[in-house]
């Protein structure tokens, strides 16, 4: 096989599988090529030149070393094409991306930013850009600033992304359900944009605003769509050590949520000016999110997650429920159903008082009039209760996840402050209350410490106290609700 600095890493590894071990030993940063996700994404687009830039090593030396290893295994030196351009270092790419963010922060031109962005990342695949975005976050750049790259990122790669084959997933697969929902979302978002144009060009906007309320009611299903991503897809990405992209996308989710609230309030209040000004941007952002999902997020996930992991996603999403589109079929098509356990435990050893078994303990926890979650001393989510009327959505994917990643980026500083204060012994309780539609929610966090005073974790207790707040007088006699 003839190869050069422009040969794709994936092509090299397919032709010479032994190069995987060689590259990993040649440069520690190439160890990532053993990762299934990296091979399926970055490896398909990144060239030898790109790899040299990522590792910040000499391109010609890398090409010569690869050729020598091929000769050692095959007995013949491969033909090497000429290098046509110097490699960019990872440091130079990161510096260029920071410059793009700085320009945008200062109000710079978006198209100029896209051109500079494209030049900075030239032959790097979208997933590697996501990895660099994550590196910027870890380097201290706020997630909100890195979000500025998101639209530039997609815009610069739109032509290449548009050339990718249409995404296909079997009926019942989570991605198939997401895409079915996206068709509904796209129709509603486009209709919202049309209504916004009607409002801005009409002297009597009352009828149009009334129609907009119905459209926005339909788009309220976005909350379920985004929650399933946040609670199911993002935790799995974290298992593959990919945190930055999910943080950035979660931040965009929150921007859309806030815009939805503002636009709906304007429609309800009959504020045509605010609605006409903000609704078009909301519609565009919703459609752009669909594009990012179907061209970047979902293909990356499908190339990465195993069938068992997708079954896990489907199970968790079934628990969260569906609003905009329901699964078209079971997934996997045939599920193994374990026989019900026949063993009933006697008393649980170690309880402070009483004698109950595991079934009874689960019944108690699942019927408490509060939501309970437990985070251990390492900030790992270990447990949540499954009451009949949960206040906040949870799914099994949250178990084993760092609690910091279970909250939107804008809330991270508050979460971290609570945990740090509990761990240091400065505080033992934190509480909040908020209005969720007609419901008044009381949320409390309790530091858990053992007899020696050592911090062992945090207990979150959330309760809908709407009815409690409305109580007056006394009730001393039994009264059943009819």
Q: What is the pLDDT of residues 155-198, one digit of tens each?
A: 655 555 565 567 889 999 999 999 999 999 999 998 998 888 88
Average pLDDT over the chain, rounded to an integer: 81
How far is it, in rounded angstroms, from Cα 165 to Cα 277?
Answer: 36
Q: Quick one: how far is CA 372 from the chain centroid? A: 23
* pLDDT above 60: residue 144: no
What lies within 8 Å, CB to CB, of 442 at 6+ separation is: 431, 432, 433, 462, 463, 465
Give the separation between CA 472 and CA 445, rounded to whole angstroms. Answer: 28
Question: Do 372 and 442 contact (CB within 8 A), yes or no?
Answer: no
- Which pLDDT does position 394 carry in this prediction? 81
Average the pLDDT over each of 139-153, 196-210, 249-263 and give the range with the smallest value: 139-153
Please name the residues in contact with 385: beta carbons below 8 A apart, sequence gap of 6 or more: 365, 366, 368, 370, 371, 372, 373
Average pLDDT over residues 35-59: 66
| Listed range (192-196, 331-335, 385-389, 465-469) with the worst mean pLDDT | 331-335
Of the listed ranges 14-18, 47-51, 234-238, 274-278, the least confidently predicted one is 47-51
d(CA 430, CA 375): 15
pLDDT above 90 as % of the chain: 34
Average the pLDDT over 11-23 and give the result: 89
Is it true that the peptide bond before 448 is cis, omega within 30 degrees of 0?
Answer: no
pLDDT at 343: 38
Does the domain at residues 358-470 carry the CATH identifier 1.20.140.10? no
Tell me the pLDDT tens digit for each residue of 116-126: 766 665 555 54
Residue 222, pLDDT score: 95
Q: Which pair of tokens denotes residue 4?
A: 């050069």
- Cβ neighbors of 355 (< 8 A, separation 6 or more) are 347, 348
More confident residue, 39 or 32: 32
Residue 458 scores a pLDDT above 70:
yes
Residues 6+ apart with CB under 8 A from 132: 90, 93, 94, 97, 121, 124
Is it the case that residue 292 has pLDDT exceeding 70? yes
72 against 37, higher pLDDT: 72
Segment among 82-96, 212-226, 448-462 with least mean pLDDT: 82-96
pLDDT at 55 over 50: yes
> Which residues does residue 458 pair with via DSSP β-bridges, in sequence order?
375, 447
Residue 159's pLDDT is what? Answer: 55
Who has greater pLDDT, 19 or 343? 19
Per-residue confidence band for 449, with pLDDT thresholds at 50, 70 and 90 = very high
Which region among 143-152, 298-307, 411-420 has the lowest average model confidence (pLDDT)? 143-152
Give the highest mean pLDDT range of 146-160, 161-175, 197-211, 402-416. 402-416
Stretch among 161-170, 277-286, 307-316 having the lowest mean pLDDT = 161-170
Task: Give Cα separations from 130 to 114, 135, 228, 252, 371 (angstroms).
Answer: 16, 9, 21, 15, 35
User: Across 104-113, 135-144, 252-261, which has the greatest mean pLDDT?
Assistant: 252-261
In the predicted model, what is the mean pLDDT of residues 16-33?
84
Quick one: how far is CA 366 from the chain centroid?
28
**Which CATH number does the domain 174-320 belong to among 3.40.50.620, 1.10.1370.30, 1.10.3210.10, 1.20.120.520?**
1.20.120.520
- Return the pLDDT at 148: 58
Q: How many CB atoms lie within 10 A of CB 462?
A: 18
Confidence of residue 154 (pLDDT cuts 50, 70, 90): low
Q: What is the pLDDT of residue 131?
A: 55
Q: What are the pLDDT digits (tens) for 324-381?
A: 999 999 998 765 544 434 434 455 666 777 778 888 888 888 888 899 999 999 999 9
Higher pLDDT, 325 or 1: 325
What does the H/E/C string look like for the chain? CCECCCCEHHHHHHHCCCHHHHHHHHCHHHHHHHCHHHHHCHHHHCEHHHHHHHHCCCHHHHHHHHHHHHHHHHCCCCCECCCCCCCCCHHHHHHHHHHHHHHHHCCCCHHHHHHHHHHHHCCCCHHHHHHHHHHHHHCCCCHHHHCHHHHHHHHHHHHHHHCCCCCCCCCCCHHHHHHHHHHHHHHHHHHHHHHHHHHHCCCCCHHHHHHHHHHHHHHCCHHHHHHHHHHHHHHHHHHCCCCHHHHHHHHHHHHHHHHHHHHHHHHHHCCHHHHHHHHHHHHHHHHHHHHHHHHHHHHHHHHHCCHHHHHHHHHHHHHHCCCCCCCCCCCCCCCCCCCCCCCCCCCCCCCCCCCCCHHHHHHHHHCCCCEEEEEECCCEEEEECCCCCCCCCCCHHHCCCEHHHHCCHHHHHHHHHHHHHHHHCCCCEEEEEEEECCEEEEEEEEEEECCCCCEEEEEEEEEECHHHHHCCCCCCCCCCCC
The whole-number pLDDT of residue 180 equals 96
This prediction has a pTM of 0.59
Q: How far is CA 142 from CA 296, 411, 426, in A?
A: 22, 13, 27
> What average pLDDT score do residues 125-153 get?
57
Q: For position 341, what pLDDT does the model report?
A: 40
Query: Do the strands 429-436 and 381-384 form a parallel or antiparallel pair, or are they unpaired?
Result: unpaired
**Residue of 88, 161, 167, 165 lying closest to 127 (CA atoms):** 161
Q: List the strands of the sheet with 381-384, edge to edge.
A: 381-384, 371-376, 455-464, 439-449, 429-436
CA distance 192 to 96: 37
* Chain segment 73-111, per-residue pLDDT in tens: 998 888 887 655 555 565 666 677 667 766 766 677 767
- Greatest Cα-to-Cα distance within the chain, rounded to the nearest angstrom: 94
**Which residue's entry shows tokens 């309220």?**
220
Q: Is the pLDDT of residue 217 over 90?
A: yes
Close Cβ partners of 43 (under 8 Å, ≥ 6 residues apart): 8, 9, 10, 13, 33
Q: Residue 205: which residues within 8 A CB-CB, separation 6 or more?
A: 198, 199, 270, 272, 275, 276
């Amino acid at each position: 096989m003839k190869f050069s600095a422009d040969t794709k890493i994936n092509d090299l590894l397919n032709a010479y599988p032994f190069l995987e071990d060689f590259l990993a030993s040649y440069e520690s940063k190439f160890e990532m090529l053993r990762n299934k996700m990296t091979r399926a994404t970055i490896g398909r687009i990144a060239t030898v030149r790109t790899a040299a830039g990522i590792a910040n090593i000499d391109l010609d030396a890398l090409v010569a070393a690869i050729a020598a290893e091929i000769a050692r295994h095959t007995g013949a030196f491969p033909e090497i094409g000429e290098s046509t351009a110097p490699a960019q270092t990872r440091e130079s790419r990161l510096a260029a991306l920071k410059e793009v963010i700085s320009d945008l922060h200062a109000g710079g031109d978006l198209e100029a930013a896209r051109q500079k962005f494209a030049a900075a990342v030239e032959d790097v695949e979208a997933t590697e850009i996501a990895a660099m975005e994550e590196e910027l976050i870890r380097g201290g750049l706020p997630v909100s600033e890195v979000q500025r790259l998101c639209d530039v990122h997609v815009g610069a790669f739109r032509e290449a992304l548009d050339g990718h084959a249409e995404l296909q997933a079997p009926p019942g697969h989570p991605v198939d359900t997401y895409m079915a929902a996206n068709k509904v979302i796209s129709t509603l978002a486009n209709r919202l944009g049309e209504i916004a144009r009607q409002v801005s060009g009409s002297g009597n906007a009352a009828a149009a605003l009334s129609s907009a309320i119905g459209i926005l009611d339909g788009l309220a299903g976005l909350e379920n769509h985004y929650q399933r991503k946040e609670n199911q897809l993002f935790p799995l990405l974290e298992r593959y050590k990919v945190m930055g992209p999910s943080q950035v996308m979660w931040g965009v989710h929150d921007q859309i949520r806030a815009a939805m609230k503002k636009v709906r309030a304007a429609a309800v209040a009959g504020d045509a000016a605010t609605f006409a000004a903000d609704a078009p941007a909301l519609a565009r952002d919703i459609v752009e999110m669909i594009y990012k999902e179907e061209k970047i997020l979902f293909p990356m996930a499908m190339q990465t997650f195993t069938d068992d992991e997708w079954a896990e996603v489907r199970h968790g999403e079934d628990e969260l429920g569906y609003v905009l589109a329901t699964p078209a079929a079971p997934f996997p098509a045939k599920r193994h159903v374990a026989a019900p356990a026949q063993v009933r435990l006697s008393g649980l050893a170690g309880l402070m008082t009483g004698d109950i078994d595991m079934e009874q303990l689960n019944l108690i926890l699942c019927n408490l009039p509060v939501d309970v979650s437990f985070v251990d001393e390492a900030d790992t989510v270990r447990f949540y209760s499954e009451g009949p009327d949960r206040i906040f959505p949870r799914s099994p994917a949250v178990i084993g996840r760092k609690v910091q990643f279970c909250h939107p980026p804008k809330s991270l500083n508050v979460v971290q402050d609570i945990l740090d204060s509990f761990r240091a012994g400065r505080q033992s309780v934190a509480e909040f209350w908020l209005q969720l539609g007609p419901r008044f929610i009381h949320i409390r966090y309790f530091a858990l410490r053992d007899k020696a005073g050592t911090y062992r974790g945090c207990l979150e207790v959330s309760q809908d106290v709407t009815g409690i707040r409305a109580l007056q007088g006394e009730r001393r006699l039994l009264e059943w609700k009819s």
